[in-house]
Structure 1
C-alpha cells in the first residue's frame, strides 16, 4: 500500500503559491498608554511554485512576523494573504505548508526516533500509526542523504547537519506546496551550510515547492534564492532578482547590508 499522500491537484496556470497584498501587522502596546508596534507595514510579494524568495534584514525588521504570516500562524491586521489562490487558512494545513527552523532541536522530539519524527506529520494528517509509514520515511531519508538505519536513532546521536537533514525530510513527507526556511542553515558550520543549501536546491527542483528563505546571512540567501526582498522597519524597501540585487542594489539600506558583509 502506498503510504504517502496523493499528488496535489494542479493549480490554475500562473497561480502563485503564496501572495501577500498590502499586509500590515500591528501589535498592541505592551502597557497602558504605550505606542502600538507596526511589525509589517503594507508588505506585498508573490512566490511561485519552484521559486525561492529570500527575506533579509536586521533583527526587528519584521522577518519573523512575515514568516508567521506565511505559515498561517498569525492573522494580518490588514491586507490579504492568499495561498494557492484562496484566502490563507481555508485549506488544510497539515500537508501544503511546512517549516524548517534554525535549530532542529526545536522541532524534533528528543524521545522519538528519527523515523518516528519524520513520519509524525504524515501520521497526524492521515490519522494512522507512525510505523505505518516506514517506506515513505526510508525514501525521504535516502533523498536527504541519510542511510535507512538512521531511522532507529535518536536526535542526540546525530550531528547538527544530520539533524537538519532529518528536519528537512520531516518537512517533505506530506508533499508540501510551500516551505518556510527560517534561519535554516545559520546554526551549521560553513561546510555543512553549503551541503544543506545544495540539498535544499536539489529537493526543490525535484519536488517543486515554493519557499520563503529567511536569513540574516546574505551569502546563504544569494545562493538559495531566486529573488531577494529586503525588510527595514517592517517594510519591503527593495525586491529584485538575486543577480540584479547583488550587482546593483538600489536602496541605501540594501547597499549598507552588502557593504557590511
Structure 2
C-alpha cells in the first residue's frame, strides 16, 4: 500500500469544510470586507501531499494559516485527525508543524542549530534525551551532527532549510505545511530538498500541504493539486490529471505560464 492509499474509514489528517475568511480593508470610516477564502473545502490524507497553487493574493497563505490554527475562519469547519480543531492550538503542539520559504523566519539567529531543532521537544515536554534525537534527525536530513553547534548564519541556504525540516520533524508530526519551501534556493538545491521532502514523507507518513507558485515543484512533490483563485478553490485533481487535462480555464492559463 502506498502512502496515499489509506485504509477505508481512515479520516483525513486535515479537513477544511466550506471555510471562509474575511479581512477588513479600507479606511477606519469605510471598512470593506475582503474574502481571503470563500467556502474552501480541502482534504489531506495521512501520507498524502496536497499541492496548493495560484497567483499571489489568491488565498494560499491564508489557507495554510487556517490549516495550522493560526487564523480562525469566519465560517466553516476545520477538522484535524477526524476531530474538531481544538480552541487552544497548544493542544496540538508537536502534531503539526511548518517549513517556511525563508528558514530564518523559524530559526532564531542567536540560537545554535541543535537548540533550535530541540526546541519543539522542550515545548511538548520531551527534552530528556533531546541531544541524541537531534543528532539523529540532523543526520536523517543530510547534515553532519557537528553542525548542531553552529549558528544559522554559518550555514548555507540549503543547510538552513534542512535544519528547518529537521526542526519540523523532530516531534514526528502528523501534518506539515510547506509554504514555498524551495523558492529561495538555487535550482540544484531545490531538487535535493524536494527529494528529501518526498523521502521523509514516505518514511514518516505525515500528511502535507505544499504551497507554491512553482508548478514544476508542486508537480514533483504533490499527489494531488488544488488551484486557488480569488479565495476560491476552482479545481482539485490528481497531479498528472491536472497537468495533462485541466478542467478549469484558470488552471489552463496557469499551465501556459510554465
Instruction: Report the counterpart of residue 234 of structure 1 in structure 2.
Output: 231
SS in 2 for 1:126: coil
Write the deviation string for residues 51-106 of structure 1: whole angstroms up to 9, x where unpaired: 00000000110001000000000111001000011111257221100000000011
Instruction: Report the counterpart of residue 115 of structure 1 in structure 2.
Output: 114
Q: Does structure 1 residue 30 correspond to structure 2 residue 26?
A: yes
**Greater than 2 Å deviation, 4+ residue runs:** 28-34
Aligned length: 249
SS in 1 for 2:41: strand
Q: What is the deviation of 1:35?
A: 1.8
1:225 is aligned, of 222, 226, 239, to 222
Q: Does structure 1 residue 15 correspond to structure 2 residue 14?
A: no
What TM-score do you get using the length of structure 1 for normalisation?
0.92
Q: What is the deviation of 1:29?
A: 3.4
Where structure 2 has 5 or more consecutive residues not aligned to the other structure, the ranges are 1-6
Q: Does structure 1 residue 194 correspond to structure 2 residue 191?
A: yes
RMSD of aligned residue pairs (Cα, Å): 1.5
Write the deviation string for residues 212-257 of structure 1: whole angstroms up to 9, x where unpaired: 0000000000000000000000000010000000000111110111
Instruction: Report the counterpart of residue 134 of structure 1 in structure 2.
Output: 131
Alignment of 1:28-177 (within 5 A): 28-31=24-27, 32-89=29-86, 92-126=91-125, 128=127, 132-177=129-174
Q: What is the deviation of 1:201?
A: 0.3
Alignment of 1:171-186 (within 5 A): 171-186=168-183
Write the deviation string for residues 172-192 of structure 1: whole angstroms up to 9, x where unpaired: 011100000000100000010
Where structure 1 has 5 or more consecutive residues not aligned to the other structure, the ranges are 1-10
Distance 2:31 2:111 in 1: 44
What TM-score do you get using the length of structure 2 for normalisation?
0.93
Distance 2:190 2:222 in 1: 15
